[in-house]
Chain A
Amino acid sequence: MTDFSLISNEALRGEIEEFVTRPAEIERNLRVFSRAHPRMQAIALAVIEGEHHLCDRLTREALEAGHVAIEVMDDGLIAGMGVVGIKFRENFIFVPEVLACARAMKSGMAHIEPILSASGVPPAGKVVMGTVKGDLHDIGKNLCIMMLRGAGFEVVDLGVDTAPDAFIDAVEESGARLVGMSALLTTTVPNMGRTIEAFIDAGLRDDVQIMVGGAPVTQEFADDMGADGYGKDALACVAEAKRLLGINA
Chain B
Amino acid sequence: MDDRFIVIGENTHATRVLMRKSPRIVGGEGQEAIAFPGEDGTTLHLPVPDAVRRGQDFEEGRVKHIRIAILAGMGSDPAAARLGRAYITHVVRAQEAAGAHFLDLNVDEMSIRLDRQQAAMDWLVRCVQEISRLPLSVDSSNLEIIATGLAACAPGGPRPMVNSASLERLEALDLARDGRAAVVVTAAGEKGMPAGIDDRVANASRMVEAALARAIPPADIHIDPLIFPVSVDASFPGHALGAMRALRDRWGPEIHITGGFSNVSFGIPYRRAINDAFLRMAVEAGASSGIIDPVMNPPSRAFGMQPDTLAYRLAEDVLAGRDEHCRAYIGAWRRKEI
Contact = CB atoms under 8 A, between A and B. Distances in A.
Given A139-B267, A220-B56, A96 B325 contact: yes
A95 B231 contact: yes
Given A100-B324, A159-B192, 20 more contacts: A94-B267, A94-B268, A94-B269, A94-B330, A95-B231, A95-B266, A95-B267, A96-B231, A96-B232, A97-B326, A139-B229, A160-B192, A185-B141, A186-B112, A187-B114, A187-B140, A187-B145, A189-B112, A218-B57, A221-B112
B193 interface: yes
Nearest to B234: A96
Contacts of B114: 187
Interface in A167-202: 185-190
Interface of A: 50, 94-97, 99-100, 136, 139, 142, 159-161, 185-190, 216, 218-221, 232
A97 B60 CA distance: 24
Contacts of B112: 186-187, 189-190, 216, 221
A228 to B, nearest CB: 18
Interface of B: 55-57, 60, 108-112, 114, 117, 140-142, 145, 188, 191-193, 229-232, 266-269, 324-327, 330
Contacts of B327: 96-97, 100
B267 A218 contact: no
Contact of A99 (B55, B140, B232, B266): B232
B193 A50 contact: no
Contacts of B57: 218
B210 to A, nearest CB: 19
B72 to A, nearest CB: 20
A189 B231 CA distance: 25
B224 to A, nearest CB: 14
18 contacts: A94-B330, A95-B229, A95-B231, A95-B232, A96-B232, A96-B327, A96-B330, A97-B325, A139-B267, A159-B192, A160-B193, A161-B191, A186-B111, A186-B117, A186-B141, A189-B112, A190-B112, A218-B57
Contacts of A216: 109, 112
B267 A96 contact: yes
Contacts of B232: 95-96, 99, 139, 142
Nearest to A230: B56
Nearest to B194: A136
A159 B191 CA distance: 11
Nearest to A190: B112
Nearest to B330: A94
A219 B57 CA distance: 11
A188 B60 contact: no
Contacts of A139: 229, 232, 266-267
